[in-house]
Amino acid sequence: MFRSIEPAWNDDNLRELSGHIRSHLFFAHIRAAIGSAVQQTNCHPFRYGRWLFMHNGFIDGFASIKRDLVIAVNESLFPEIKGTADTEVLFYLALTFGLEDDPPDAVARAIGFVEAHGRARGIQYPFQGTIATTDGESMWVFRYSSQGKSRSLFFTRDVRALRQEYPDREILREVSDDTRLVVSEPVGDLPGAWIEMPEASYGVVTKGGDQLLSFAPKPPHKAA
Amino acid sequence: MFRSIEPAWNDDNLRELSGHIRSHLFFAHIRAAIGSAVQQTNCHPFRYGRWLFMHNGFIDGFASIKRDLVIAVNESLFPEIKGTADTEVLFYLALTFGLEDDPPDAVARAIGFVEAHGRARGIQYPFQGTIATTDGESMWVFRYSSQGKSRSLFFTRDVRALRQEYPDREILREVSDDTRLVVSEPVGDLPGAWIEMPEASYGVVTKGGDQLLSFAPKPPHKAA
Amino acid sequence: MFRSIEPAWNDDNLRELSGHIRSHLFFAHIRAAIGSAVQQTNCHPFRYGRWLFMHNGFIDGFASIKRDLVIAVNESLFPEIKGTADTEVLFYLALTFGLEDDPPDAVARAIGFVEAHGRARGIQYPFQGTIATTDGESMWVFRYSSQGKSRSLFFTRDVRALRQEYPDREILREVSDDTRLVVSEPVGDLPGAWIEMPEASYGVVTKGGDQLLSFAPKPPHKAA
Amino acid sequence: MFRSIEPAWNDDNLRELSGHIRSHLFFAHIRAAIGSAVQQTNCHPFRYGRWLFMHNGFIDGFASIKRDLVIAVNESLFPEIKGTADTEVLFYLALTFGLEDDPPDAVARAIGFVEAHGRARGIQYPFQGTIATTDGESMWVFRYSSQGKSRSLFFTRDVRALRQEYPDREILREVSDDTRLVVSEPVGDLPGAWIEMPEASYGVVTKGGDQLLSFAPKPPHKAA
């Protein structure tokens, strides 16, 4: 992990490192801070064990429900929270709800929990954004907002299809068949390379074949 | 407030500002981080309303009791916690226990609370250090540690007495009669200028006359 | 002077300081770095003695002519150059050419020198931008580019006229009659408050009355 | 290259990177700034092409001779100077004098040049320090000061000899036979592992066998 509070486009260390680090799976995030401080411990992705987690969006009214959320984090995980960003708390909620065992269920429960507590405090649309998480092997990506107007998320079409369409593109020959990019907004200049993820959906990128499924938060169970 | 994560001796901004800011009371702190991240939101002093709070020392085993301490912070104060330092949590505990009304009582209760929860987790000496707090008019300083071996704290003798002893010292003529410096270690070269605060004591520096009193933490009340 | 490499809108120190510093004349600059490193010593304004100097623009092909420019800086001024930005070198050239005695002449000679050396290296349009400089009392502002398509510069109309037009605006009653703002782009929502400086012009803002004059670089004298 | 202005012991990025970067030769430097600004462009090592260069020491009176030194740098190299540190100028002087072809000769000429110009300005002891430079394959290290009281430099004894002396040390079995550490001060707890380089000497660490030789600056040739 490399995190910096300087603009990415002027960061010499980032440029140097990028030339020396290879990975079959990597996460990149540029943060436009709203609310919590600009400091390395608030930079995405957040990490716990083998897991990374990042988010393009926000928890609305976070200050008013932060205490509720933090108290719900598993006691043994609590000391691992290093910063003050809403996303980090969401990550530890998801870990509390079983992210390592069932990522879609845990994220659905974490967002459901945020929505329940936000609405209890009078916040109309508590959650907004897209999320990506990984255990280093597979990747889970989510697009959802309480308002139903989520920030965008795009993924690349199958690389083999792209190669046929753009046989002259060097980069398409360099990457493996199962390469998949997931981005907030399309990059580059290949029309037709990007497919937008639908509202309220999630995707799994994994070796055994990728999936695109619908997503809905799971509200917390009420005590009888 | 000016806070920076760069070494103070090379900070051009600090040098510039120091030449332009005047105050009848100011706090300065150099942090040697142990545990929590080096970031502006963890730099001392911490501030709430008119109050500043700083600390030379640590809460031992902070990670293991942080959750207990954070949950004890008044719900309305909770969202004001901006960083992750042990001292900031101690400050908000003291505010919860009435710092604005009775600083010595609130600090005694905050440290008593830390000691009770630390010992419950098997930590032998939960609190170490010296504390200074102010409402902008008066200043309260504390020296205490659970072990009875506290970090040092010194204050200056009465300025009028110092002037008589060192009539040639320009700086002593420039400052007012009720000037008082409180420091972790003596600075400068005036033998006899500094008096060490005793173990387990606190001082009040205020317009109506300063005081030096003994200090003891107040353990939390047990439920019957 | 306060300089920082973090985005101004998230800089807590800037916010704090702004509430405590008063001056009858101040400079503010946000740098979008092109070429030289993002570091405090490259942040504008640059200062020498009582003089501040800042620039919105660039010296084209600076790397290729930097040596020529640096060597032309007065030997006694040379050690004062603290950073690596093109603007700082331009400032020290202007100081070398008499900025402290005759700012418009010195800036005209500095830009003329840059143009001569740039063109000798095949650079078509060596200088672009607007400049502001001050001795703490008066302010000189310049708009010029070798191409004749200069970055914009606006100044406020006479405050008394603005007050008549907008009698309800509190801020216009708070400022003195001779208040003048000079900005790269208009700010706020007062139509008619801003006058654009013409191409190739400079202005003097001073107590005895402001002036707007035409500007032309002065090429270096050739040896016979 | 990774450079940072934060204390190395609290730098999370450094810790992360160190676990992922492997190299058969690496340089590490902690700077205690004296004179030039604390900024990444002044952090050692400096780099040009395949070459790295770092220095523990200083050029005395650098401000007064910087202009002389900078003007002597080859015109084509001049634009490569990115910061303002004395060591970077020394590096570009050494490159100007042929570092890439004959490192000991180039460093001797660069230091000789510094001494000649320093003494011409009345500086008694212009150069102090130890230097290390590499082309990525071999390493050249120097210990020298104009005063004859140079900062210390130590290198490790032959690894095979150390293994015999300390058969239980895991780390000695992990490293290859031709491993060599060169450090300003001995680290670790192996008495007898370190040999101090003599005053006015230089060493070459290379695959064909290491060498330790005497060093003397070469003064610039005078014009007839």
Instruction: Give the residue, C117 or B224, on which the prediction is more confident.
Output: C117
Q: Describe the strand order of the beta sheet including C201-205 as a list of residue ranges.
A: C46-48, C51-59, C127-134, C139-145, C201-205, C211-214
Determine the residue of chain B that is closest to A5 in CA distance: B39
* pLDDT score of D10: 84
Mean pLDDT of C81-101: 97
A33 in C contact zone (CB under 8 Å): yes
3-state secondary structure of C147: coil
- In the DSSP assignment, the letter for residue A129 is E
Closest chain B residue to A4 measured between Cα atoms?
Answer: B39
Select the residue of B10, B12, B33 nearest D10 (Cβ to Cβ): B33
Q: Which chains touch A (3 or more CB pairs under 8 A)?
A: B, C, D
User: Is A1 in the D-facing interface, judged by CB distances under 8 Å?
Assistant: yes
Distance of alpha carbon B126 from alpha carbon B120, whole angstroms: 10
Chain C nearest-CA distance from B148, in A, is 38
**pLDDT (0 to 100) of residue A144:** 98
The predicted structure's pLDDT at residue C37:
87
Who has greater pLDDT, B199 or B190?
A: B199
Size of interface B-C (CB pairs under 8 A): 26
CA distance A3 to chain D (A): 7
Q: Which of C64, C75, C82 sits opposite D84 (nearest CB)?
A: C82
Confidence of residue A224 (pLDDT cuts 50, 70, 90): very low
- The nearest alpha carbon in chain B to D36 belongs to B10
Q: Distance (Å, rounded) from C-alpha D132 to C-alpha A222?
A: 67
Return the partners of chain C (3 or more C-beta pairs < 8 Å). Answer: A, B, D
pLDDT tens column, A157-166: 999 999 998 9
Closest CA to D61 of D145, D139, D127: D127
Give the model's pLDDT for residue D222.
66
Candidate from B12, B17, B40 with C-beta closest to C40 = B12
Interface residue C18 vs chain B (CB under 8 A): no
Q: What pLDDT score does B221 carry?
A: 81
pLDDT at D81: 94
Cβ–Cβ contact A26 with B under 8 A: no
Q: What percent of chain A has pLDDT over 70?
A: 99
Q: Please answer whether residues B218 and B112 qualify as being in contact, where contact means their C-beta atoms are separated by less than 8 angstroms.
A: yes
Per-residue pLDDT band for C224 (boundaries 50, 70, 90) equals very low
Q: What's the pLDDT at C115?
A: 98
Of all residues in chain D, the one with the smallest CA distance to A41 is D12
CA-based R_g, chain D, Å: 18
Task: Quote the tokens at residue B143.
Answer: 């020296």
Note whether C75 contacts D: Cβ–Cβ < 8 A: yes
Q: What is the pLDDT of residues D117-158, one digit of tens each?
A: 999 999 999 999 999 999 999 999 999 999 999 999 999 999
Across the interface, do D67 and C78 touch by the CB < 8 Å criterion?
A: yes
pLDDT at D34 over 80: no
Q: Do C6 and A10 touch (CB under 8 A)?
A: no
D-chain CB neighbours of B7 within 8 Å are 7, 38
Whose structure tokens read 């173990």? B199
Nearest residue of chain A to residue D6 (CA atoms)? A4
C-beta of residue C53 within 8 angstroms of C-beta of residue C87: yes
CA distance D213 to chain B (A): 38
Chain A residues with CB inside 8 Å of D20's CB? 21
Q: What is the pLDDT of residues D36-79, one digit of tens each?
A: 888 999 999 999 999 999 999 999 999 999 999 999 999 999 99
Burial of D170 (0-12, 13-18, 19+ CB in 10 A): exposed
Say whether residue D207 is in contact with chain A using an 8 A CB cutoff.
no
pLDDT digits (tens, 9 = 90+) for C19-59: 888 899 999 999 887 778 889 999 999 999 999 999 999 99
> Mean pLDDT throughout C167-184?
91
Amino acid at C72: A
What pLDDT is attached to residue B131? 98
| Pick from A78-82, A191-195, D31-35, D88-92: least confident | D31-35
The answer to whether the Cβ–Cβ distance between D41 and C37 falls below 8 Å is yes
Confidence (pLDDT) at D224: 44
- A26 reaches D (C-beta below 8 A): no
Give the minimum alpha-carbon distance from A40 to chain D in angstroms, rounded to a whole number: 9
Contact B63 A83 (CB under 8 A): no
**pLDDT of A21 strictly over 90:** no
Angle among Cα D59, D64, D66 to the nearest 5 degrees reads 65
Tell me if chain A has a CB within 8 Å of the CB of B180: no
- Distance (Å) from the C-alpha of residue D136 to the closest C-alpha of chain A? 15
Mean pLDDT, residues C94-107 taken together: 98
Q: Give the CA distances from residue B63 to residues A77, B32, B220, D2, D123, in Å, rounded to whole numbers and listed in that order.
A: 10, 18, 20, 31, 54
Give the length of chain B: 224
Interface probe with B: pick from A62, A78, A89, most Cβ of B within 10 Å: A78
Q: Check residue A187 and give its pLDDT.
A: 87
Any chain A CB within 8 A of the CB of B82? yes
Residue B224: band (very low, low, confident or very high) from pLDDT cuts 50, 70, 90:
very low
| Interacting residues of D144 by C-beta distance below 8 A, sequence separation 6+ | D111, D127, D129, D130, D150, D199, D200, D201, D202, D215, D217
Q: Which residues of C touch B3 (CB under 8 A)?
A: 12-13
Average pLDDT, chain D: 93
Per-residue pLDDT, C192: 85
Inter-residue contact C107 to C203 (CB < 8 Å): no
CA distance B142 to B150: 10
The verdict on ipTM greater than 0.90 is: no
Name the helix (H) or strand (E) containing A91. Answer: helix A86-96
Contacts of B17 in chain C (CB under 8 A): 2, 17
What's the confidence (pLDDT) of residue A65? 95
Mutate to test the interface with D, among B4, B6, B10 (most CBs of D within 10 A): B10
Residue A40 touches partner D, C-beta closer than 8 Å: yes
When pLDDT is cut at 50, 70 and 90, the band that residue A190 belongs to is confident
How many angstroms away from the CA of D170 is the closest CA of chain C? 43
Q: What is the distance between the alpha carbons of residues D110 and D70, in angstroms, rounded to a whole number? A: 12
Whole-angstrom CA distances from B163 to B65, B158, D31 are 48, 9, 42
Cβ pair D1:A20 closer than 8 A: no
Would an 8 Å CB–CB cutoff place C121 in contact with chain D? no
Look at residue D195 and tell me whether its pLDDT is greater than 70: yes
pLDDT at C198 > cutoff 50: yes
pLDDT given at position B222: 66
Would you call C79 and D71 a contact, using CB atoms and an 8 Å cutoff? no
On whether any CB of chain D is under 8 Å from the CB of C76, the answer is no
Predicted local confidence at residue D163, as pLDDT: 92
Q: Helices A86-96 and A103-120: crossing angle, nearest 10°?
A: 120
pLDDT band at D189 (very low <50, low <70, confident <90, very high): confident
Distance between C13 CA and the closest CA of chain A, angstroms? 12
User: Does B1 contact chain A (CB < 8 Å)?
Assistant: no
- What would the pLDDT profile of B77-122 be if each residue is shown by its tens digit? 999 999 999 999 999 999 999 999 999 999 999 999 999 999 999 9
pLDDT of residue C222: 66
Given a cut of 90, whether residue B192 has pLDDT beyond it is no
Largest CA distance in chain A: 63
**What integer is the mean pLDDT of B62-87?**
95
Measured CA to CA, the distance from residue B166 to residue C115 in angstroms comes to 62
Question: How far is B34 from chain D, CA to nearest CA, in Å?
Answer: 9
Residue D217 has pLDDT above 60, yes or no: yes
